[in-house]
Amino acid sequence: MAKRCVDCPEILQPQIGRGRPRIRCPQCSVKRRGKSLTVAPTPLGPPPGPESPLEALTGLAAGVRAELEAAGRADSVDGMAAIHAAETLDRQDVSGAARASLLREMRTAAADALRAAAPAGGVLDELRRRRDQKSG
Ligand SMILES: [Zn+2]
C-alpha cells in the first residue's frame, strides 16, 4: 500500500537506501525546513586558481578591490562603495532587481573612483610608470 504525505495527498515514492522513513513528500519537507532554518544556497564561486588563493575565494569583490588598489583608490569613498557592493554581490543572497541595481552602483562607483585616479585612462600603465620611476 502506498504511503501518503502527512501534509498533502501526494503519494510518497518508495524509499530507496537507508535513512529515516519519510512521512512527507519532498515539497512539504522543503517547506517545513524553510520555516525552522533558512538554508542559504551554496555560492558557486570561481574555481580556485593556482595563484593568489585569497583572491580566488572572493571573486567579484577581489577583482574590484584589486583594480582599485592598483589605482590607489581602494580607500576612497567611491572605491569603498564599489567594494562593498561587490562583496554583497559575491555572497549571492541578492536577488533580481536588487542584484541588478547593486551591480549598476558598483560599476558606477568603481568607474568614478578609477576616473579620479587617472583622468586620461591607462591606469595600470601610469601606475607601472610611476613604480618604475620609484624603483629605478
Ligand atoms: Zn506533501
What is the distance in A from the centroid of ligand 1 to the CA of 6?
Answer: 6
Distances in whole angstroms, Cα of residue 130 to Cα of each of 45, 108, 114, 134: 34, 26, 16, 6
For ligand 1, the distance from its centroid to the CA atom of residue 43, given in whole angstroms, is 28
pLDDT in tens, the chain (136 residues): 678 999 899 888 877 777 777 888 888 887 666 555 555 566 666 555 555 444 444 588 989 999 999 999 999 999 999 999 998 888 767 778 888 898 999 999 999 999 887 555 556 676 777 777 776 5
pLDDT recorded at residue 132: 76
CA-to-CA distance for 115 and 83, rounded, in angstroms? 16
Centroid of ligand 1 to alpha carbon of 7 (angstroms): 5
pLDDT value for 52: 44
Q: How close is the Cα of 1 to the center of ligand 1, in Å?
A: 17
Cα of 28 from ligand 1 centre, angstroms: 4
Phi and psi torsions of 116, nearest 5°: -65, -30
Ligand 1 center to residue 116 CA distance, Å?
58
Neighbour tally for 22: CB within 10 Å? 16
Q: What is the pTM of this model?
A: 0.44
Helix (H, G, I), strand (E, B) or coil at 4: strand
